[in-house]
Amino acid sequence: MIDELENISPRRKAFDRAVVGAVDAAVRFVVVHWLLLVNTVSLGYTVLPVLAPLFMYWHIDWLGRLVYAIYRPACHQLPYRSFFLFGEKWVYTTRDLQAYLNPADPASLLGNTQLGFKMAFCERDFAIYGSFFLGGMIFAVLRGRLKPLPWLVYAVLIMPMAVDGFTQLLLLRESTWELRVITGMLFGFATVWLIYPYLDRELRKSRDSSYVPGRRSDGQEASAAERISEEPR
């Protein structure tokens, strides 16, 4: 097997080196710039549902409906638990929307010119993902100085959302938009405070490591036999 590896054509070796180099560069970029990437994704995931009512208001219905469809698997999109834009109110109760709701599928109500149009995710999701982004931006400022949130404190901070969500799910009560936003923000900020310091610490270790697969300690390219000896058994 070693002889077969040593007899690989120069063109194939050059191709393999190019592929390995590209993969290594991509991995290094992610390791170094992971926070930028995560914050960018968080921002995009938060802003896109807000654009859905804007598309509907501008009569670009196909694009607005596409955004609603993309987020439907991730959120119930109930109109009486969502923020509305370009209408008479920001929020509506079930009673306010009674004449417009389809009992078989309440989430199918996107809005109209009188009510405005709902965001593509609910009030709580807006608070959660918005907090992920804002928390990530704050972490960028405090990076290296912020210790991970203790698990017990994390449990205390996310408990309000669990209580608010489950009591509503069990039809024991109906929450308010204020509670949904506050509990969602507590969950979002607490999750960032818990996870990001751990993730940053481990990726820093990976970035600062001097070991590079496929190279010897002197920086020269490893032989085929040396590469095989490094492979896990």
pLDDT for 167 equals 94
- Tell which wins on pLDDT, 67 or 16: 67
pLDDT for 211 equals 42
pTM equals 0.81
Query: How much is the mean pLDDT over the chain?
Result: 86
Cα–Cα dist 232/24, whole Å: 19
Asked if residues 182 and 160 have their Cβ atoms less than 8 Å apart, the reply is yes
The pLDDT of residue 2 is above 70: no
The mean pLDDT value for 189-216 works out to 78
pLDDT for 110 equals 97
pLDDT for 16 equals 64
* Measured distance between the N- and C-terminal CA atoms of the chain, rounded to whole angstroms: 16
The 10s digit of each residue's pLDDT in 32-83 is 889 999 999 999 999 999 999 999 999 999 999 999 999 999 999 999 999 9
Q: What b-and-e string marks burial along 98-113, b requiring 16 or more CB atoms within 10 Å of the CB? A: eeebeeeebbebbbee
pLDDT for 164 equals 95
Cα–Cα dist 1/198, whole Å: 42
pLDDT for 171 equals 86
